[in-house]
Structure 1
Amino acid sequence: MASIAFIGTGVMGRSMAGHLLKAGHTLHVHNRTPAKAQPLLDAGAHWHATPGSAAAKADFVFTIVGFPQDVEETYFNPTGVLAAAKPGTVLVDMTTSSPALARRIAAAAATKGLAALDAPVTGGDVGAREARLSIMVGGDETAFAHARPFFDLMGRIIVHHGGPGCGQLCKLANQIGIASVMMSWCEALAFGQSAGLDPARVLESIGGGAAGSVGMTVLAPRALKGDFAPGFYVKHFLKDLRLALEAAEAMSLDLPGTKQAKKLYDQVAARGWEDAGTQALFRLYTERA
């Protein structure tokens, strides 16, 4: 059994940390909003007031926070992870963040005798609850081998993609793929509805065929019921799209589908729905209809 710090216990992190705790590991937690960690504390986790305090108690540190600036503060702040973690600790950032920042963390960790992995995930709130996330990992292979048993408790598909930053690059590829998928099912159901069809029946007919997708299967039914609660926040998806487009621009690669998705999600956020789930895009289509 290992001593683990888990920093970030929101929609995704709470379930992910819970799997580690359930497996018998000692869990030290920190979250900016303490109430969000309460279910873990009730189950036996130990509370810490700062990321560094939690990291100092751990052999492995997992972080999943909101934005790259949150990652930077969690790791580089004087009360953060890098200042407090003891030599030999493996640091694993599971936030979808900047590949360049992942490389910075890995370099800073190495100077302190630490190992750092970037390991963003996909699968949403359901995948986190059911421990069937896909985990995309960049960083040192030996550190990956040491962290692999914990990844296996949280996910089903775990792939090591290369050195520092490579996990983040793969996750951005994932978000690029999702961007056009979200537009596709929203447009299909909005078209059916505008044509006078029952969109739920349209979904029943097309969801299992070539037009189907995980987004259509999981998120479209929620949208049709008017359920826009976040499995994944609009504001976080917009952050991911910005990171993807910045990386693409650096490679002189044009991503027209991703650009259009960002344009539409900017409109979703402008309507005050940035704290809704990504299925709120359908609300934009129906509002226009």
Structure 2
Amino acid sequence: MKTIGVIGLGIIGGVWAKNYEAAGVLAGVWNRTAQPEFPKWKREAREVASAADVVQIVVADPPAVQSVLDAILPALGPGKIVVQSSTIDGESSDGFLKQVTAKGARYLEAPFTGSKPAAEQKKTIFFLGGDAALVAELEPLLALVSETRFHIGTHRQATAIKLAMNLNIAVQMQGLGEALTFARRAGVSDETFFTVIKKNVSNSGLVALKEPKLRAEDFSPQFSVKHMLKDMRLASRTTGCEEMPMLDTIRGCLHATAQAGYADEDFSALIRLLGPQER
């Protein structure tokens, strides 16, 4: 089994790193905000790349990925692999692939779906983009933190399917919040609403995940407003997707939610902008 280092110890990266540590394959971790108490903590990102066969990057956005690559490229070379798991766009992925392979290392695009509860239960779903042989080589390692791994195709296609999934989820969340608010204002109880929707064709995994949060008005982040907004901005800048009505609408709703002071909350906080919730 190869060893792995994780750069980015946020909501998901920190969980993955602990799972890798429990499996005995974690070689090092680094985070922009220091966490020296974390198992296998390294003082610099470059030290992680030096110690590990595989470096998995899970940070906020393309500029953050670039800053990591700037730090670790001197430590990359033949035998090293970069697994890029941040949500980015295809153009950025092109650039990162070129930088890594120019050092003689290999690159796998590996965005994912699944929030914190899924990561804790090792039910993350990876969308892998790259050479089939590399995908097969990394299968045992990525299986330690995930339930399913799809080989989507190219690195650009992997970034596209991730943004497509998040667009679908964000639009569903806005629709769920509006439907719940509509029912509440008619005097329908949350218990009745969620009982009925579970028998409706519109029921989904998102409903199951967000029902407890909506009912309790618990907006602690599983996936934050600011990160979903970043993803929708990336999607909007993708060639051929500049004038999609629902994409434009949900980006605007997320922007307004962030501007209202809820950027760090779970993206189910979209419901907050619908006004007072009559219960």
TM-score range, shorter chain: over 0.9
Query: Matched residues in 1 for 2:30 and 2:86: separation?
Result: 15
Name the residue aligned to 2:41: 47
Query: Matched residues in 1 for 2:34 and 2:19: separation?
Result: 19
The code of the aligned residue for 2:188 comes to L
Structure 2 residues without counterparts, runs of 5 or longer: none
Query: Which digits, 9 at most, give the CA deviation of each residue in 1:105-164, with x for residues without a partner?
Result: 111221211111111111111111111111101122222122111221121221112222
213-222 or 125-134: which moved more?
213-222
The code of the aligned residue for 2:25 comes to H
Q: Give the secondary structure class of the aligned counterpart of 1:165.
A: helix
Name the residue aligned to 1:106: 97
1:258 maps onto 2:247 in alignment = yes
Name the residue aligned to 2:67: 73
Name the residue aligned to 1:6: 6
**1:30: how far off?**
0.2
Verify the 8 A CA contact 1:62 1:94 in the aligned structure 2: yes
**1:52: how far off?**
1.2
Q: Give the secondary structure class of the aligned counterpart of 1:117.
A: strand
4+ residue runs over 4 A deviation: none
Query: Matched residues in 2 for 1:228 and 1:30: separation?
Result: 27
Task: Please give the residue correspondences for 1:233-252 in structure 2 after superposition, counting only pairs within 5 Å.
Answer: 233-247=224-238, 250-251=239-240
The code of the aligned residue for 1:46 comes to K
**1:86: how far off?**
3.5
TM-score (norm 2): 0.94
Sort the Cα spacing of 1:167 and 1:6 in 2 relative to 1 into closer, same or farther, 3 A: same
Q: Give the secondary structure class of the aligned counterpart of 2:127.
A: strand
Sort the Cα spacing of 1:183 and 1:26 in 2 relative to 1 into closer, same or farther, 3 A: closer
The code of the aligned residue for 2:274 comes to Y
**1:177: how far off?**
1.0
Q: Give the secondary structure class of the aligned counterpart of 2:261.
A: coil
Q: Give the secondary structure class of the aligned counterpart of 1:272.
A: helix
Q: Give the secondary structure class of the aligned counterpart of 2:237.
A: helix
Verify the 8 A CA contact 2:130 2:155 in the aligned structure 1: yes
**1:229: how far off?**
0.3
Percent of pairs with identical residues: 28
Query: Matched residues in 2 for 1:69 and 1:203: separation?
Result: 40
* Cα root mean square deviation, aligned: 1.7
Name the residue aligned to 1:196: 187
Verify the 8 A CA contact 1:116 1:139 in the aligned structure 2: yes
Name the residue aligned to 1:58: 52
**1:51: how far off?**
1.4
Q: Give the secondary structure class of the aligned counterpart of 1:251.
A: coil
Sort the Cα spacing of 1:253 and 1:246 in 2 relative to 1 into closer, same or farther, 3 A: closer
Query: Matched residues in 1 for 2:161 and 2:272: separation?
Result: 29
The code of the aligned residue for 2:134 comes to A
Structure 1 residues without counterparts, runs of 5 or longer: none
Query: Matched residues in 2 for 1:15 and 1:252: separation?
Result: 33
The code of the aligned residue for 2:230 comes to K
Name the residue aligned to 2:173: 182
Query: Matched residues in 1 for 2:174 and 2:222: separation?
Result: 17
Sort the Cα spacing of 1:252 and 1:202 in 2 relative to 1 into closer, same or farther, 3 A: closer
165-174 or 270-279: which moved more?
165-174
Sort the Cα spacing of 1:68 and 1:287 in 2 relative to 1 into closer, same or farther, 3 A: farther
Name the residue aligned to 2:28: 28
Sort the Cα spacing of 1:50 and 1:287 in 2 relative to 1 into closer, same or farther, 3 A: farther
Verify the 8 A CA contact 2:76 2:100 in the aligned structure 1: no
Query: Matched residues in 1 for 2:194 and 2:159: separation?
Result: 33
1:85 maps onto 2:50 in alignment = no
Verify the 8 A CA contact 2:226 2:263 in the aligned structure 1: yes
